[in-house]
């Protein structure tokens, strides 16, 4: 039996270890990238998250950083899902403000990308919309270390993980993965910085979904036309991110790195789920907004 206690990094490390213990033919973790054809389940795992963001305690995937190749890759494998998840907000109460904010924005990115991803459907939509509502109500309070806010965020990150684990994400995650690998940008910070930029890019391919997102975040959309409610959804996300202290620019991002970052984001496992295809030029334009 294995008990994984920690944030997404610890739980993901446990997932990789458990899979390799029971499937030793995949001893090089790099051979597990993408949909891995393992035959046996991981060892019996109890996962205890201590951050309010990744939902890795219930998802189908784990993320590994290949330091040599400067890339983060995603392994997707139903055999890695922990047997028991213990989601207790008390385990998250020691998070400092910055970590609470960034992991909470990771959860919001899961919920919004999961709500608008190509494979989203009625059931995942219920979970993602509820998670967006919970995050809108609770993230600011959690950052202020309010116990109700912590509980709301513990629930939200778990609820949306049940959805995105089944339907996938989008290019805010693709771009966040490469920023994490190249500059060591914390995952939640990278997601939070990319999310409003990617929402603006995707808006035209999302039907009326941004109206639901705006309303879930507390915006009164009465009388708004499509352009107005789409802008309102992006503005609400941007405001929440600013309120919890996430920066909007990434000083480390250098011109010379752009070609690698764009190639890497385009090749990421989350990219095909995006509601709108992004070319290398599109990725470059979006990365430039962080400079």
Structure tokens at 3: 């008990």
In 134-243, at which residue ranges do the beta strands (DSSP E only) sit? none
Binding-site partner at residue 10 among Fe ion, ligand NAD, none, CB < 5 to 8 Å by type: ligand NAD
Query: What does the alpha-carbon distance between residue 236 and residue 174 come to, in Å, rounded to a whole number?
Result: 22
> Considering the rule CB under 6 A, would residue 95 count as an interface residue with ligand NAD?
yes
Taking the CA atoms of 194, 200, 203 and 204 in sequence, report the sign of the dihedral they define: negative
- What string marks each residue from 101 to 130 as x (binds ligand NAD by CB under 6 A) or -? --x--x------------------------
Q: Report the nearest approach of ligand NAD to the CB of residue 163 (Å).
A: 12
Question: In whole angstroms, how close is the CB of 220 to Fe ion at the nearest point?
Answer: 29
Q: Please report how close the Cβ of residue 290 comes to ligand NAD at its closest, in angstroms.
A: 18
> How far is it, in rounded angstroms, from Cα 180 to Cα 186?
6
CA distances from 207 to 27, 116, 157 (A): 44, 9, 25
Q: Which is nearer to ligand NAD, 141 or 231 (CB)?
A: 141
CA–CA distance from 68 to each of 15, 155, 265 (Å)? Answer: 21, 36, 17
Closer to ligand NAD by CB, 53 or 211: give it. Answer: 53
Which residue in the set 4, 51, 124, 202 belongs to the binding site for ligand NAD (CB under 6 A)? 51
Range in contact with ligand NAD (rule: CB under 6 A) among 6-14, 36-44, 204-212, 224-232? 6-14
Q: How far is CA 80 from the centre of its chain?
A: 18
User: In this structure, are residues 175 and 266 in contact, taking their beta carbons and an 8 Å threshold?
Assistant: no
* One character per residue 234-273, x = contact with ligand NAD (rule: CB under 6 A): ----------------------------------------
Note the residue count of the chain.
Answer: 291
User: Toward ligand NAD, which CB reaches closer, 100 or 206?
Assistant: 100
DSSP state of 32: G
> CA-to-CA distance for 282 and 194, rounded, in angstroms?
13
Interacting residues with ligand NAD (CB under 6 A): 6-10, 12, 50-51, 53-56, 59, 61-63, 92, 94-95, 99, 103, 106, 187-188
């Amino acid at each position: 039996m294995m008990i994984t206690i920690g944030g997404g990094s610890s739980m993901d490390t446990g997932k990789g270890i458990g899979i390799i213990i029971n499937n030793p033919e995949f001893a090089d973790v790099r051979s597990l990238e993408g949909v891995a054809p393992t035959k046996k389940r991981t060892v019996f795992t109890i996962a205890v998250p201590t951050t309010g963001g990744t939902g890795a305690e219930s998802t189908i995937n784990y993320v590994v950083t290949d330091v040599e190749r400067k890339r983060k890759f995603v392994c997707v494998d139903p055999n890695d899902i922990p047997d028991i998840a213990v989601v207790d907000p008390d385990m998250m109460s020691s998070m400092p403000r910055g970590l609470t904010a960034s992991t909470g924005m990771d959860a919001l990115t899961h919920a919004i990308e999961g709500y608008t991803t190509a494979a989203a459907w009625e059931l995942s939509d219920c979970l993602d919309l509820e998670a967006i509502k919970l995050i809108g109500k609770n993230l600011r309070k959690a950052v202020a270390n309010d116990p109700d806010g912590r509980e709301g965020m513990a629930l939200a990150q778990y609820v949306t993980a049940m959805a995105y684990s089944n339907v996938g994400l989008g290019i805010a995650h693709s771009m966040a993965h490469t920023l994490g690998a190249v500059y060591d940008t914390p995952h939640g910070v990278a997601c939070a910085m990319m999310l409003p930029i990617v929402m603006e890019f995707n808006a035209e391919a999302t039907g009326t979904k941004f109206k639901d997102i705006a309303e879930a975040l507390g915006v009164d959309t009465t009388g708004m036309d499509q352009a107005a409610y789409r802008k309102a959804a992006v503005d609400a996300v941007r405001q929440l991110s600013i309120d919890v202290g996430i920066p909007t620019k990434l000083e480390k991002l250098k011109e010379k790195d752009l070609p690698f970052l764009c190639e890497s984001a385009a090749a990421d496992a989350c990219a095909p789920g995006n509601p709108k295809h992004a070319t290398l030029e599109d990725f470059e334009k979006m990365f430039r907004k962080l400079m």
